[in-house]
């Protein structure tokens, strides 16, 4: 089975009750999903292993590398319980969060996270129940936060609490996350998504624990992470614009600008960037999205995001395959738009002052100037493929790697058609194999030319230093 996408942006689909069987996963892949997300907030280790087994079975059946992302839950900060289950907070009233485990009242409730008290300062805003209730800090004691109700409403047992103005002193990894991380690495997932990132040290901690066995994707969902975005990107392998939590912790009108800022910063650094949350939300219960949702997906594609993500739409919705297919059609339409190429050209990042980046930039320019059939990147570590994608060329890109883990990880990256292939032993073998795969995969016809980029000596990780133009012969092999 030869599967070739007719778009360059990738689709990340979340698995769940509506998509937990192997045939359902295969259906999502054929509809357009390139990477599957396993949400560890709702998945046990047995479920994780079962998902991975089924995805790998689909991968073998369709003959294409498929990426798997395990999304760590992160800290879940919640209030204690109330004596009467819930209370109604009134604007201007005083309300205290303290360490007492006594049932809550109209004037106080337990905050069962003692490490937080030292992180909050006077004037900080606190958000309850996804921002439905807002509190302003008046004063802070060793075991209590005294606040004034800015926006009142009903609050019930165990509702979530957010601290958009406070950098909290604890790790982004809970004991559950550490256990989930070990299970995910053991199951050989391709990406780990890190929630609750506040500072670069959070990413460094996960990188130390994973020891290079999986890619690290940092979810930008807190204002503190936006403030040190450059440093977080440097330590991460990929970035996610987690717009749902961003929309809780910062004013909603600021989220579109933050999305553009994060997307462009990641693209500048050559790191994959995923735009996520509520992209086709109405398709959880409807076979058709709203026009606003279609526009939302299109905006992410026009921005040059590497991937767009479905959450509940594919995990628990009534129309999971239809949601993936709709996202696929929207992306294809955008990429055919006459303005799309101009926008990609205008936003293209300047190459870094390295031989590898210069080679990648030259490859893109030669391919477009000579109207070549496709670019072929030989890559062991994935770096050559990432550099090629960073250029956002109009010309299709094939990445060939002898390492299946590399091909799976690159399935998240814009424009890359990933193939697992034995490493070439000589330059002639490299040319023949590149031309043959370009022909077999439907990118090039006999008589057309392709451009090949690789590191010499062959198989040297990260040493992109060569490009070569070759004709596809009548037998599908290459010639100079």
Report yes or no: 191 and 68 within 8 Å, Cβ to Cβ.
yes
Same-domain status, 464 and 408:
yes
Determine the pLDDT at residue 353: 84
Which of 162, 188, 206 terminates a domain? The answer is 162
Residue 186 lies in a domain: yes
The residue from 26, 134, 219, 387 that is catalytic is 219
Looking at residue 457, the DSSP 8-state letter turns out to be S
Give the residues across from 10 on adjacent strands: 307
Residue 147: active-site member: no
Same-domain status, 290 and 155:
no
Residue 80 lies in a domain: no
Which of 292, 311, 338 terminates a domain? The answer is 338
Same-domain status, 67 and 194:
yes
Report yes or no: 10 and 37 within 8 Å, Cβ to Cβ.
no
Same-domain status, 314 and 214:
yes
207 sits in the region (left: phi over 0; alpha: psi -120 to 50; else beta) called alpha
Residue 219: active-site member: yes
Residue 218 lies in a domain: yes
- CATH code for the domain of 137: 2.40.33.10
162 Cα distance to chain centroid: 23
Residue 281 has phi, psi (to 5 degrees) of -55, -40
Tokens, residue 59: 């991968």
CA distance 360 to 324: 32
Determine the pLDDT at residue 2: 66
Determine the pLDDT at residue 169: 86
141-162 in b/e form (b: 16+ CB < 10 A) is: eeebbbbebeebeebeeebebb
CA distance 124 to 120: 7
Residue 46 lies in a domain: yes
Same-domain status, 222 and 263:
yes
- CATH code for the domain of 457: 3.40.1380.20
Q: How many H helices and E strands in the chain?
A: 16, 22
Same-domain status, 187 and 123:
no
SS3 (DSSP) at 202: helix
Same-domain status, 100 and 61:
no
- Which residues touch 38 (CB under 8 Å, ≥6 apart)? 14, 15, 47, 48, 51, 52, 68, 69, 70, 71, 184, 189
Which of 305, 338, 371 terminates a domain? The answer is 338
Count: domains in the chain: 3
CA distance 416 to 260: 22
User: How many residues make up the chain in this entry?
Assistant: 480
Residue 321 lies in a domain: yes
* Complete DSSP assignment for 111-152: ---GGGTTT--TT-EEEETTTTEEEEEEEEETTEEEEEEEE-
Q: What is the β-pairing status of strands 478-479 and 464-472?
A: antiparallel
Residue 4 lies in a domain: no
Same-domain status, 236 and 363:
no
List per-block mean pLDDT (blocks of 10 residues) for the chain, which spans 480 residues: 88 98 98 98 97 98 97 95 96 97 96 92 95 96 96 96 92 95 98 96 96 96 96 98 93 95 96 97 98 97 97 98 98 96 88 87 96 96 93 96 97 97 86 94 95 80 82 74
Same-domain status, 361 and 470:
yes
Tokens, residue 181: 């991380």
Determine the pLDDT at residue 410: 98
Residue 332 lies in a domain: yes
- Other C-beta atoms lying within 10 Å of the C-beta of residue 446: 13
Same-domain status, 195 and 64:
yes
Q: Which helix (H) or strand (E) holds 320?
A: helix 320-336
> Using omega within 30 degrees of 0 as the cis cutoff, is the peptide bond preceding 253 cis?
no
Determine the pLDDT at residue 142: 92
- Which residues touch 418 (CB under 8 Å, ≥6 apart)? 64, 65, 385, 399, 401, 407, 408, 410, 411
Determine the pLDDT at residue 462: 62
The residue from 14, 277, 363, 383 that is catalytic is 277
- CATH code for the domain of 224: 3.20.20.60
The residue from 76, 78, 94, 260 that is catalytic is 78
Residue 5 lies in a domain: no
Beta strands (DSSP E) in 328-401 are 374-378, 397-401
Domain of residue 412: give its range: 355-479
Tokens, residue 81: 């319980």
Determine the pLDDT at residue 146: 97
SS3 (DSSP) at 38: strand
Residue 460: active-site member: no
Same-domain status, 425 and 467:
yes
Same-domain status, 369 and 430:
yes
Residue 453: active-site member: no
């Amino acid at each position: 089975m030869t599967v070739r996408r007719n778009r360059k942006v990738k689709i990340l689909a979340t698995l769940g009750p509506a998509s937990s069987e192997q045939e359902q996963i295969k259906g999502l892949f054929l509809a357009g999903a390139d990477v599957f997300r396993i949400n560890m907030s709702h998945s046990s280790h047995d479920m994780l292993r079962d998902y991975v087994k089924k995805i790998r079975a689909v991968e073998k059946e369709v003959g294409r590398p498929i990426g798997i992302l395990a999304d760590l839950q992160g800290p879940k900060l919640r209030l204690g319980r109330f004596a009467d289950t819930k209370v109604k907070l009134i604007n201007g009233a005083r309300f205290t969060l303290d360490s007492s485990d006594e049932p809550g009242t109209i004037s106080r409730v337990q905050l069962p996270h003692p490490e937080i008290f030292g992180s909050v300062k006077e004037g900080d805003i606190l958000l309850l129940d996804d921002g439905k209730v807002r509190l302003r800090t008046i004063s802070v004691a060793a075991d209590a936060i005294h606040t004034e109700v800015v926006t009142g409403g009903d609050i019930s047992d165990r509702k979530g609490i957010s601290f958009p103005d406070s950098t909290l002193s604890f790790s982004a990894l809970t004991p559950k996350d550490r256990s989930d991380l070990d299970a995910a690495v053991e199951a050989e997932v391709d990406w780990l998504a890190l929630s609750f990132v506040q500072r670069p040290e959070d990413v460094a901690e996960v990188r130390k624990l994973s020891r290079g066995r999986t890619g690290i994707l940092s979810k930008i969902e807190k204002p503190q992470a936006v403030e040190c975005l450059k440093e977080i990107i440097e330590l991460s392998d990929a970035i996610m614009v987690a717009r749902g939590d961003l929309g809780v912790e910062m004013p909603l009108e600021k989220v579109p600008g933050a999305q553009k800022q994060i997307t462009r910063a990641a693209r500048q650094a050559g790191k994959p960037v995923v735009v996520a949350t509520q992209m086709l939300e109405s398709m959880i219960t409807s076979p058709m999205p709203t026009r606003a949702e279609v526009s939302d997906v299109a905006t992410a594609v026009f921005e040059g995001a590497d991937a767009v993500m479905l959450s509940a739409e594919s995990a628990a919705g009534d129309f999971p395959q239809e949601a993936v297919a709709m996202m696929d059609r929207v992306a294809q339409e955008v990429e055919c738009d006459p303005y799309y190429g101009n926008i990609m050209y205008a936003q293209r990042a300047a190459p870094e002052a390295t031989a590898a980046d210069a080679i990648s930039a030259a490859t893109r320019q030669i391919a477009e100037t000579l109207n070549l059939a496709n670019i072929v990147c030989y890559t062991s570590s994935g770096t050559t493929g990432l550099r090629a994608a960073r250029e956002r060329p109009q010309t299709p890109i094939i990445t060939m790697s002898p390492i299946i883990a590399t091909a799976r990880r690159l399935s998240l990256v814009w424009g890359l058609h990933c193939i697992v292939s034995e490493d070439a032993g000589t330059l002639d073998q490299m040319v023949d194999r590149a031309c043959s795969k370009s022909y077999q995969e439907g990118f090039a016809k006999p008589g057309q030319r392709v451009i090949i980029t690789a590191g010499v000596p062959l198989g040297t990780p990260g040493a992109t230093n060569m490009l070569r133009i070759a004709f596809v012969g009548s037998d599908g092999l290459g010639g100079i």
